[in-house]
Amino acid sequence: MGLIQYIVSRVGAYLIVLFVGVTITFFLPRLMPSDPIEGYIAQMQNQAGQSMNPETIEELRTSMRKLYGLEGSIVDQYVDYIKRVFISFDFGPSLASYPKPVSEFIFTALPWTLGLLGTALVVSWLIGNIIGLVAGFYHNSRWATLLEIFGVILYPIPYYILALVLILLFAYIWPIFPLSTTILPGPITWEKINSIIYNSFLPALTLVLAGFGWNILGMKALSFANKEEGYVTFARLKGTPSRTIMFSYVFRNSILPQITALALSIGGVFNGALLTEILFSYPGLGLLMRTAIGSGDFNLLYGTIIMSIVSVATAALIIDLVYPLLDPRIRFR
């Protein structure tokens, strides 16, 4: 059974990626030259003034060793770490906002990142590919050339430049969107949803435009090449309507490599999203990560890193699992 093999291999690769990622985040802090615990204790002492007595400090040291999983042999530490991360999603407490657990921060931030990134990715990919399809399919028409030029211009612009230009244009010179994200706390109401959309529009737009160029150019090249395939010629000679040829023949075949490309590019897109959040003070994982770095909150930092790995790997897995739905050669091997 080809399909089962395919699924097993994808899920296997997924688990390996997660495992390797988590393992790296386990060893990374242990390879650091300075001892973060002592650093923290010094920092906390500063914050608390001189009021901490030595017992508290010793207690803190032990509990922090425990929190960091630094008790016992390195093998014990590793097993314990893996168990905590994979089974209970426990990344320990935040060190900057002790004792609030890191996972709490992460689960508040995650929906923002996933919402922003997911929407931007889907919109950019769908519209970019449709534009690319039209540009490739009607490559002789002037409109198609215009669409392609749009892609050619967008493609090489570095993301941060694009984002800054958009911020400058639409939040400063012509302030139709807010400069940074402010969302009222409280329960979900229509008003709140509106405010979320209003605040998310510009960051999403930068992400959409950033992905556009690549999607347009990729799809243009693919559909242009696909038009020369024997089955497209044969369909034309059958008298198949041009619209059917464009969608059922050219699009359905050219989209397959684009799906693979999407799965491969998702890591890069995630990086872009982290930057977006910082630029727009958008309350997602990226901003959280920056806060963690700013305040030296190691638990939070490694928690966000692991969560990023999980998100990217899961998204790629989902795309890989959707692929066979569109390619019968994998479904019925």
Partner 1 sequence: MIKLNNLVATYTTERGQVNAVDGINIALPSGKIIGIAGESGCGKSTLLKVIYGDLIYPLALTSGNVEYGFTGDRGTEVTTRDIKEYWFRRISYIPQASMSSLNPVIRIRRQFVDFQGNVVDEAKILAEVREYVRSLDLPAEAIDAYPHQLSGGMRQRIMVAMGTFFKPDIILADEPTTALDVVVQKSILMLLMDIQEQMENTILFVSHDMGVHYQLTHKMLIMYAAKVVEFGDSEDVFSTSLHPYTKMLTDSLPTIGDDHIREGVSGRPPSLWDELVGCRFAARCPLATEICRQQEPALLEHKPGHFSACHHADQV
Which residues of this chain interact with partner 1, rule CB under 8 A? Answer: 229-231, 233-235, 237-241, 244, 248-249, 252-253, 256, 326-329, 332
Closest CB to partner 1 among residues 182, 233: 233
Nearer to partner 1, 183 or 319 (CB): 319
DSSP, res 171: I
Tell me the C-alpha distance between 319 and 333, whole Å. 19
* Residue number, 85 or 235, with CB nearest to partner 1: 235
Degrees, nearest 5: CA angle 198-102-81: 135
197 and 123 in contact (C-beta within 8 Å)?
no
Nearer to partner 1, 235 or 312 (CB): 235
155-177 burial, b for 16+ CB within 10 Å, e for fewer?
Answer: eeeebeebbeebbeebbeeeeeb
Q: Which is nearer to partner 1, 19 or 234 (CB)?
A: 234
User: Long-range CB contacts (< 8 A, 24+ apart) of 288-292?
Assistant: 288/105, 288/106, 288/109, 291/96, 292/96
HEC readout, 206-248: HHHHHHHHHHHHHHHHHHHHHCCCHHHHHHHHHCCCHHHHHHH
Angstrom distance (rounded) from CA 32 to CA 49: 28
Name the token pair of 159: 């993301």
Least distance between partner 1 and beta carbon 232 (Å): 8
The CB-of-308 to partner 1 minimum distance in angstroms stands at 34
Q: Which residue's CB is nearer to partner 1, number 187 or number 230?
A: 230
Provide the minimum distance between the beta carbon of 216 and partner 1 in the complex, in angstroms, as a whole number.
Answer: 22
DSSP 93: B
Instruction: Please state the closest distance from residue 330 (CB atom) to partner 1, in A.
Output: 10
Least separation, in Å, of the C-beta of 269 and partner 1? Answer: 26
Min CB(318)–partner 1 separation in Å: 20
Q: What is the total residue count of the chain?
A: 333
Question: Is 30 or 331 the residue whose CB approaches partner 1 more closely?
Answer: 331
| Among the listed residues 314, 304, 312, 305, the one whose alpha carbon sits nearest the alpha carbon of residue 103 | 304
Q: How far is the CB of 129 from partner 1 (least distance, A)?
A: 16
